[in-house]
């Protein structure tokens, strides 16, 4: 396990772009396929904007799209969350999520909000939800977004140079990155495909591993 950096801001997404490029060079790859999930898609988008010629394919899974200026409204988010209101965990999970949106960084709220991230809150989802979660997780998250701002027009202009095929992969039941956001982002890429996994949340490979693997393998093939 890596030691914590002296400066958590070294985790910041834009600073990590050079790390991804250094890894590509270290591996001796002229081009590479790049897959990123959730907030990691912010880093992948920044990398694609900075080094479009180095990507052979780009896969963004339930992606954070803020770097490209695509973000859902408060109304859209509330509507998506409301679709789960019949679930027994809904009241406590919603209260925790609202606390997080208001700035809470407590692990208690983080854990309580987890059911929203899955298509079904079964034993598999519950085991995955808190695996590896600790105070270090929150520190890394804060460092990733620390004072992070985006020059959206410049990023969008740079993405126009990306000729590699792009897969925008959404979960039908994901309230954080609903399929409509993926559809909204698709025109920003010259060759983008949107795939929506039925019944999936923010972690589609947990909800239906076979469906997720088949879709990604089909794209890579």
**pLDDT tens string 25-84:** 999 999 999 999 999 999 999 999 999 999 999 999 999 999 999 998 888 888 889 999
Supply the pLDDT for residue 134. 73
pTM of the model: 0.93
Name beta bridge partners: 197.
Answer: 171
What's the rounded mean pLDDT across residues 195-206?
Answer: 97
**Which tops the pLDDT comparison, 155 or 142?**
155
Using the CB atoms, write b or e for 69-81: b if 16+ within 10 Å. ebebeeeebeebb
Q: How confident is the model at residue 138 (pLDDT cuts 50, 70, 90)?
A: confident
**Which tops the pLDDT comparison, 195 or 72?**
195
* Sign of torsion over alpha carbons 188, 189, 193, 197: negative
Per DSSP, the three-state class of 194 is: strand
Q: How confident is the model at residue 205 (pLDDT cuts 50, 70, 90)?
A: very high
Per DSSP, the three-state class of 216 is: helix
CB 193 within 8 A of CB 168: yes
Supply the pLDDT for residue 1. 54
Supply the pLDDT for residue 142. 79
Q: What residues contact residue 95 under an 8 Å CB cut-off, 6+ apart?
A: 112
Supply the pLDDT for residue 2. 66
Supply the pLDDT for residue 106. 87
Supply the pLDDT for residue 144. 86
* pLDDT averaged over every residue in the chain: 93
Domain ranges of the chain: 8-27+41-51, 74-141
CB 51 within 8 A of CB 187: no
CB 128 within 8 A of CB 206: yes
Tokens standing for residue 168: 């925008």
Report d(CA 173, CA 183) in Å as an integer: 15
């Amino acid at each position: 396990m890596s030691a914590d950096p002296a400066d958590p801001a070294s985790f910041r997404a834009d600073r990590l772009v050079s790390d991804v490029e250094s890894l590509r060079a270290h591996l001796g790859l002229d081009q590479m396929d790049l897959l990123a999930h959730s907030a990691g898609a912010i880093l992948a988008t920044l990398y694609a904007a900075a080094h479009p010629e180095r990507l052979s394919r780009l896969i963004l899974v339930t992606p954070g799209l803020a770097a490209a200026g695509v973000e859902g409204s408060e109304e859209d988010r509330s509507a998506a969350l409301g679709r789960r209101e019949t679930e027994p965990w809904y009241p406590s999970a919603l209260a925790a999520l609202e606390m997080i949106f208001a700035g809470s960084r407590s692990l208690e709220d983080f854990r309580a909000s987890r059911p929203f991230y899955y298509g079904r809150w079964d034993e598999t989802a519950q085991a995955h939800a808190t695996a590896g979660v600790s105070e270090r997780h929150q520190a890394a998250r804060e460092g990733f977004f620390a004072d992070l701002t985006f020059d959206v027009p410049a990023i969008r202009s740079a993405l126009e140079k990306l000729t590699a095929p792009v897969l925008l992969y959404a979960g039908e039941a994901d309230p954080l990155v609903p399929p409509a956001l993926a559809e909204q982002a698709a025109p920003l890429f010259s060759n983008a495909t949107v795939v929506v996994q039925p019944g999936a949340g923010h972690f589609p490979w947990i909800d239906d591993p076979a469906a997720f693997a088949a879709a990604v393998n089909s794209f890579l093939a």
